[in-house]
Chains A and B, each alone.
Chain A
Amino acid sequence: MIILRNTILAIAFLAALFGCKKEEQSVYGHYKPRFVVEGWIEQGDYPHVILTHNIPFFTSLDSAQLSEVVIRWAKVSVSDGQTTEVLTAKKDNDYFPAYIYKGNELRGMPGKTYTLTIEYAGNTLTSTTSIPPKVPLDSVWFIPKGDGLDKVQLQLRFKDNPSEKNYYKIYTKTSSNKRYIPTLLSNHDDKYFNGKLLTLQVNRGPENNLTVENQPYFNKGEAVMIKFATIPKEGFDFWSTFQDEVINSSNPLVGSTGKIKSNIQGPGLGIWCGYGSYILQATATP
């Protein structure tokens, strides 16, 4: 039954992409098939792109459906205006879905603009981003927290550059995480603290929105990797609206605005973003 459903789904998706939207809608209600792009290029690193597609609304997702969302045979290329590199698709268990397009030639440089082009079955998606210059952290420390003060909370301080427009995104990573995880309120716009020395109290974010429990503090003695990234405006717009949807849609005071600002052109949505990352390792001791 599940196989049948998935087969129908896959056919429907492809059929829809090729322009038979009306019939598809009658089967899947208001589902509009789209590609989903999650791409990034960090300063000093190669471009990474995860390419999937959206799926109709069912109340549960199983392994077959989840593995089916990946688009495996797309042509994904990144250009800095001079060099264009076609990324290679690889299996990588650090990500989910565990299939990612990576470069090995073009490394991210601050101030440069990068254009992403994805071609698949006659569809073309494009997007442009840039890498802002990174901003160093002034200092990082931990303070005791938790009921028995057995946990620690991360504090960080940095000086915003008064002559630059800056957007920041903060991540942390411990040995239990495969990827850098955005902190709880991870997006910051310097329009409120331009040129100031800012101290932020940082809480860990949940690994994803599938877990109800969230541990905002670190264990004492834990090694913590901190990624303090500057991002361009389109990255900030995407991530802050994404945060509103993912964190706040369960809050009746807030509700879902359902307006995630994607920067992908073509029949898709998602984010292609450059990061000026400053990475620091610290031990979680007060």
Chain B
Amino acid sequence: MYTFQFLSLIRKSPFLYLLSLKFAFLLLLTLFLSETNAQNSYQIEGHLYNASTKAPVANATIKTRQKTTSSDERGYYNLVLNEGEHVLTLTHIAYDTLQISLILQKDENKDLYLHPKMALMNEVVVSGSPRKSNIRSVSGNVQTLTREDLRKQPAFLGQADPLKTLQTLPGSGKGGEGNSGFYVRGGTAGQNLTLFNEAPIYNPSHLLGFFSVFNAEAIDQVKLYKSAIPSEYGGRLSSIIEVNSSRKVEDSLSIRGDVSILAANTTLALPITSNWSLSVSARKTFMNQTVWPLVNSLAGNGSSFNDMRYDFHDLNLNSNARIGSRNSLNLSAYHGGDRFGFGIRRFNISNGMNWKNSAYSFSWKSILEDRAVLQNTASYSGYNFNFGMTQDKYDANITSQIRDINWKSVLALYFQKHQLKTGLQYTRHRFKPNTPSVSASDTEYDFGLPNIYHSDESSFFLSDEFSVTEKTGINAGARFTYYRQLGPYQLTNEEQETVSFGKNEAVSAFGYIEPSLTLRQLLNQNSSLKLSLSRNIQPLHLISVTAVNFPADFWMPSLRSIPAEKGLQASVGYFRDSGKDNRYESYIDLYYKKMSGLVEFSGGIMNLIDNLKIEENLLFGSGRAYGAEFFLKKNTGKLTGWIGYTLAKSERRFEGINGGNYFPAKYDRTHDLSIVSSYPLTSRWNVNASFTYATGNAYTKPASRYLIGGNIVNEYGPFNGNRMPAYHRMDLAATYKIRNNRKFSTELSLSVYNVYNRQNPVYIYFLAEGDLEKQKVSIRPKSVTLLPVLPAVNYKFSFK
């Protein structure tokens, strides 16, 4: 009662609300402090799933010598046990009894899989591993990273990063230093759909790709789908990156965070009632006070660039609530912003860029009955970008904006042999891709009305994962989408007349089907063969306008004059687990991909300072990519980690470029290798190391030159005909646990980015120097590099 009154009061006043947070925080702090002398006990929690259908198992009994509990409708269970060894016995009338033993020394999160009695695969020994084995899943190549995996990679400046860790997996290449792009299986950076709690994030990177927008503290799990994308998702040719916050209702107050000379990060988890909790994560860098002054002074006057500056911040809010035993709600909000700038000394030019992502989603999950789960999600995504170039009083700016409103309903039905997923999705887009503004002294240039594009997508999807025989599983699905470009819009028709379309009037529309099929054949208990086929259509295009994948690249929807991108992919993979308790997890996956409708902008960013119609300045082409991915991961033992290697080729063909012949894609990586490892030296010391190597980006090199007005001008050779030096880098980290107990733990980590100070070029240009009068001129390739060896000390704390 008191709680209810208190809550209704705080709803009326945000100030009171803040006060209440503080109050609740102090209250709980006191409660916990008074409890610190109690015997050490830890919590074990997780979900129970049907091992074959992956449906949650409700009402199972979980028994230990000390306590007994049962799983709720979502399969969730939770027990608080004393420190030490325990045997958990899980029983359910419809499932085989499962016994697992464990030593509890800290809070544990364990998802467990129960086998139906008379199950098809009852010979399989169930392990308590929280990871879903890749061998048995009937989905294409999907890789899941948990927070545990993130800890294995030395964190850049002490900040673990989900997307950077995903890039260490085979087939998901990085663009090189200073490049935020994500290049999955030879695709482009714009062919990935990054979803944060179902809301798309259009530019998921901070600091030119050194960080992603995802704060590892605020997320629970990251999944990368790179073949046979589930029908629940669509609209991208290469991959789906699904990032989710925790869905757990926090039951105790906790604060954790870290601080270094470059950044600070803190997360507060706060139970509001026993069924409702809130967690907030905030992160901010202060490199403008630390690293950049140093970099700028080291670069000195010899550098072409000066006055480098960059900082970012982000804020995550996640709130979970349970309503009865069958309903749960999640509210998630993300806001992040970046400010970047540098000067070009030579021309007294100052460049600035800032961008902001925001994503809000509200999701309601309802268990209709044991076999049916309905999830409804409403989300909003916003992206704002501004590029500015200033030279004294000449000031040119380009801004871009995206706004998405999205609704999705998914119904999952679990049967003994079938697992069906069906649903509807509606997305409304508003793109304002480039709005220039220029002022020279006191005169504002007139660019007319900005280009604004509206479109929407209505989709229906259905998929079925079913067991054909004991060994053969099939996952087949299709997604049908009806896409419309909507007014207001003006176009010039073939008769050279201007046709105007009113608000919400369809300018053009088309429907398409994205089918996907995965066939899994178990070869034995430890290995399987998987064949995946899929066709995807992408009605949105990321148009690249910069020499590297800077956030200035903008999104455009398909218009009457811009067709959608189309892609076909086939892949066949061999998956194998080996060793005791599946200590090793490995796969080899081969893929072939064809793409059409790829789009390139015919000019550069400078052409955007001109309100030209983008759709009239595009080049269309096609591409093909193929490769082999090798992956080996060691899950248990002292040394853990993984090795990923990809041998691949990615090519493009555009009319008017390279005589219409195939040329290497800019981010074509013949070789791409990543090694990530973690090793505990003692109970307090842990060391991590990672190494990455990738073939250099393709670029176009000058083939000849000429003189005009006393300038040396380059003429370029075959498009993307040359390679930048190979990208390689090693990172190390050592972590020391200063204090580690149930209530309070602290650790200190020392990380070194780019250990051997490799100068990986971001960009190469050719600089002519000398004096024509003295008839002595030299032309040197100049590389722009970003980060040298960069040590960082990071202090982490966690308080419960």
B771 part of interface (Cβ distance < 8 Å):
yes
A47 part of interface (Cβ distance < 8 Å):
no
B708 touches A36 (CB 8 A): yes
A176 part of interface (Cβ distance < 8 Å):
no
> How many A residues, CB 8 Å from partner?
73
B769 part of interface (Cβ distance < 8 Å):
yes
In the complex, residue of chain B having the shortest beta-carbon distance to the beta carbon of A205: B347
B346 touches A214 (CB 8 A): yes
| Given A63-B776, A199-B441, A250-B782, A206 and B346 contact (CB-CB distance below 8 Å) | yes
Q: Which residues of A contact B703 (CB under 8 A)?
A: 29-32, 56-57
CA distance A208 to B769 in the complex (A): 10
A73 part of interface (Cβ distance < 8 Å):
no
Pairs across A and B, CB under 8 Å, 21 listed? A31-B704, A57-B705, A61-B775, A184-B391, A199-B440, A199-B441, A200-B441, A203-B391, A208-B772, A214-B347, A242-B708, A245-B713, A246-B713, A249-B714, A253-B552, A253-B605, A255-B763, A256-B716, A257-B603, A259-B603, A271-B708
| Stretch of B5-13, B39-47, B442-450 with 4 or more beta carbons under 8 angstroms from chain A | B442-450
A62 → chain B, closest Cβ, in Å?
7
B777 part of interface (Cβ distance < 8 Å):
yes
Binding site for B on A (CB under 8 A): 28-32, 34, 36, 38, 52-57, 59-63, 66-67, 69, 95-97, 153, 155, 179, 182, 184-185, 191-194, 196-201, 203, 206-214, 216, 242, 244-260, 269-271
Q: Which residues of A contact B770 (CB under 8 A)?
A: 61, 210
A210 touches B550 (CB 8 A): no
| Given A57-B703, A210-B777, A192 and B347 contact (CB-CB distance below 8 Å) | no
B14 part of interface (Cβ distance < 8 Å):
no
Q: Which residues of B contact A56 (CB under 8 A)?
A: 703-704
A54 touches B705 (CB 8 A): yes
CA distance A271 to B711 in the complex (A): 14
Q: In the complex, which residues 688-726 of chain B have their Cβ closer than 8 Å to any Cβ of chain A?
A: 700-718, 721
B605 touches A254 (CB 8 A): yes
Q: Which of B387, B550, B776 contacts A62 (CB 8 A)?
A: B776
B574 → chain A, closest Cβ, in Å?
41
B547 part of interface (Cβ distance < 8 Å):
yes
Q: Which residues of B contact A211 (CB under 8 A)?
A: 769
B344 part of interface (Cβ distance < 8 Å):
yes
B482 part of interface (Cβ distance < 8 Å):
no
Binding site for A on B (CB under 8 A): 178, 304, 344-349, 351, 353, 387, 391-394, 438, 440-443, 445-447, 546-548, 550, 552, 603-607, 700-718, 721, 762-763, 765-773, 775-780, 782, 784
CA distance A185 to B440 in the complex (A): 11
In the complex, residue of chain A having the shortest beta-carbon distance to the beta carbon of B715: A54
A155 touches B768 (CB 8 A): no
A253 touches B445 (CB 8 A): no
A62 touches B702 (CB 8 A): no
Looking at B394, B707, B714, B763, which has the most chain A CB atoms within 10 Å of its CB? Answer: B707
B717 touches A193 (CB 8 A): no
Known: A185-B391, A210-B772. 5 other contacts (CB 8 A): A29-B717, A67-B775, A253-B353, A255-B548, A255-B763
CA distance A201 to B392 in the complex (A): 8
Q: Which residues of B contact A209 (CB under 8 A)?
A: 711-712, 768
CA distance A252 to B447 in the complex (A): 26
| Given A60-B779, A62-B775, A244 and B706 contact (CB-CB distance below 8 Å) | no
In the complex, residue of chain B having the shortest beta-carbon distance to the beta carbon of A255: B547
A96 touches B773 (CB 8 A): yes
> What does DSSP make chain A's interface, helix, strand, loop or mixed?
loop
> What does DSSP make chain B's interface, helix, strand, loop or mixed?
strand
A36 touches B707 (CB 8 A): yes
In the complex, residue of chain B having the shortest beta-carbon distance to the beta carbon of A31: B704
A32 touches B704 (CB 8 A): yes
A201 touches B552 (CB 8 A): no
In the complex, residue of chain A having the shortest beta-carbon distance to the beta carbon of B178: A252
CA distance A201 to B443 in the complex (A): 11
B307 → chain A, closest Cβ, in Å?
14
Q: Which residues of B contact A198 (CB under 8 A)?
A: 440, 443
B182 → chain A, closest Cβ, in Å?
19
B769 touches A254 (CB 8 A): no
| Given A30-B718, A62-B775, A244-B604, A55 and B547 contact (CB-CB distance below 8 Å) | no
| Given A52-B706, A208-B709, A201 and B441 contact (CB-CB distance below 8 Å) | yes
A37 → chain B, closest Cβ, in Å?
9
B443 touches A249 (CB 8 A): no
Q: Which of A60, A96, A184, A203 contacts B778 (CB 8 A)?
A: A60
CA distance A191 to B769 in the complex (A): 36
CA distance A244 to B603 in the complex (A): 10
CA distance A270 to B709 in the complex (A): 11
B772 touches A201 (CB 8 A): no
Q: Which residues of A contact B768 (CB under 8 A)?
A: 209-210
B443 touches A250 (CB 8 A): no
Q: Which residues of A contact B442 (CB under 8 A)?
A: 199
A255 touches B704 (CB 8 A): no
Looking at B348, B709, B713, B721, which has the most chain A CB atoms within 10 Å of its CB? Answer: B709
B702 touches A69 (CB 8 A): no
Q: Which residues of B contact A207 (CB under 8 A)?
A: 710
CA distance A216 to B773 in the complex (A): 22
CA distance A54 to B702 in the complex (A): 12
Q: Which residues of B contact A28 (CB under 8 A)?
A: 704
In the complex, residue of chain B having the shortest beta-carbon distance to the beta carbon of A93: B773
A260 touches B713 (CB 8 A): yes
CA distance A200 to B395 in the complex (A): 12
Q: Which residues of B contact A67 (CB under 8 A)?
A: 775
B109 → chain A, closest Cβ, in Å?
44
B721 touches A254 (CB 8 A): no
B550 → chain A, closest Cβ, in Å?
6
CA distance A249 to B712 in the complex (A): 12
| Given A38-B708, A208-B772, A250 and B346 contact (CB-CB distance below 8 Å) | yes
In the complex, residue of chain A having the shortest beta-carbon distance to the beta carbon of B547: A255
Q: Which residues of A contact B348 (CB under 8 A)?
A: 184, 203, 214, 216
Q: Which residues of A contact B353 (CB under 8 A)?
A: 253
B711 touches A246 (CB 8 A): yes
In the complex, residue of chain A having the shortest beta-carbon distance to the beta carbon of B392: A201
B714 touches A256 (CB 8 A): yes
Q: Which residues of A contact B700 (CB under 8 A)?
A: 256, 258
